Structure 1
């Protein structure tokens, strides 16, 4: 016989337990198991008044923010709307069915006030990291560091050239993000004068964003330029746990400088470090002519030998006063003899458009050669494999947690968002690695 519900919802009393309605393998169960905010109130106590009306519980706001970052709910207004009807969210936030959800404006007020004054988000991140260490997810033997560019909350049309003068006296005055930027400039100026009065000023940015001057105009390969910040991760290689995170302006030139020949020489010769990084090769060619790597370097005779067996030298005759031949780019140029090149069979493969072949050799090329040799070792291949663990976290950050664009402005806004995102990623990893699956629980109890 076909059944039919009565549709009667007029009962006055219900026996209802939120815990009974949350699946045993729900992600929030695992996160709740490992997230302990027991000392949060103690940490925040000095930033609250001892009199007056009680405030919103800071643990409640942190738990709601963790939900938002774990499940890619980027808007705090939408987060409040989602927590209200979702039983799992209410359970994780310790809210009963009749408890009110805080207004979205509460987050903004606390974020710009008590949260930043107390550096509470850093406190939460470090408490979660300590739990990761306690659970054995941090090996402490191998680490990897990398940065990823995150778009700023910016409109490209609000940017101006870095050389233009900005009149801050108009309108309602500078915004919070602008005040942070100006304060940072003042601090940098004071530090520079304290260290060295003759130190050169920082490079003037090409473009400045009026609403968030600390964001940097940058471009990713194959795409248009945009304003951005960088999130910097230091992870432990054992389980990919983030052990530190830092927000910085997107200085792409610093990433390029880290692979320059002078930097490699400093690491090898001065610090005895084996740089397991790819060498930036400028001598490779795509027009089917000989690349620089196809010329043999002869250290003792200080010359190159071309594929035809002829020499490329930095000088053809001795000078009374010895010359280094070092250019402003810290290179020594080696040239072939025009008589060796003219009419030769291989000239079209060597220098079809010039009478001679030139090779600019860096003064730090010996260090680059050592790095090339390191790149052929098993340790280098393993380090490249380990480095992908950082890239996986960045992909998860942007695709799953939806943090491909910031909502908050200024260095402190980027700092808050990156800390919360890293905290959520560590909690998710603990929950997924350490909590037994529902199928495993069923099999164990059978």
Structure 2
């Protein structure tokens, strides 16, 4: 009886979105043999707010994809408008120094951006890219209940396959079967948001900024308007489940009622909805959770790395992918893919960067959970050049957020 040929790789990456594709590309360029699996065929739509900040754009440049990125339909973003529950507004431009050094931000539909990364992965000789192949479960090493050494997946025809690797990367979103297998719940209590969005054409207003409205009954969630090209905006809303359930309405109904509010009604008078509303849930970054173990790592939404204040996911996902690839390469070169070694080279390295940001976000959360203070800070900040400067620099360094609620800063605002 003939022996079945085994598919053996250095690394298997489950999920070819920004986190997975970035991981695979960096691994392949370091000479590692990668199997990249995704349940969809590209190009495919992905529900998201579509914002691309420097976290994302710097890695696009590092991967040598900047020229291709520039050809995508997109909106150039030069600042962020934040509105508090009482209607106070503060516009924060991206800092001139940051723009000079790194350029401005962009909003790009995920169908275009993710396809850019997927096509780059297809061209890499060290990547075997299989689309319409859904990972079902991890395969554990013989005589081990914790060491992952491969995956079982279904192809487009429903056939079941097994593949093996030294390391398996869960990059397949908040419902990742790899994450679930290692004990990660997709819903993190107190860190979960439910969201919906649709695309609208001809929304009246500026097309060079991201707009975040923290409205009464929705805050600390928010309503957003993000332009994605010259005539189209991504319009959506994100809320905590408890706030959403309290209203006893569908999320789509809440969003439609928000658009119909007096402050927005005029902007949508001639607007045309061009896609259906689509909903998704997402847990955001909070306390540190294990993202590396025996033969496995988690990146992107599979590891709950979306930013707390803004919900930004693409940039943080790509950053985790890059750092994971670097850590995996070191572990493979040392011939040690144990939990201890992957934790040292990936998880510890990642959290060395994340810890200061998480501390900064805690200050912002404190503001959002105290509406009167939030109203006060936004109203005062909008008229204070020093605070606008802090807020502008905060787009690059979230650790500066604590200055906004520091007692000395608060006293300055009271006296201004």
**TM over 0.5, yes or no?**
no
Q: TM-score, normalised by structure 2?
A: 0.21
Q: Which has the larger radius of gyration?
A: 1
Greater strand percent: which structure? 2
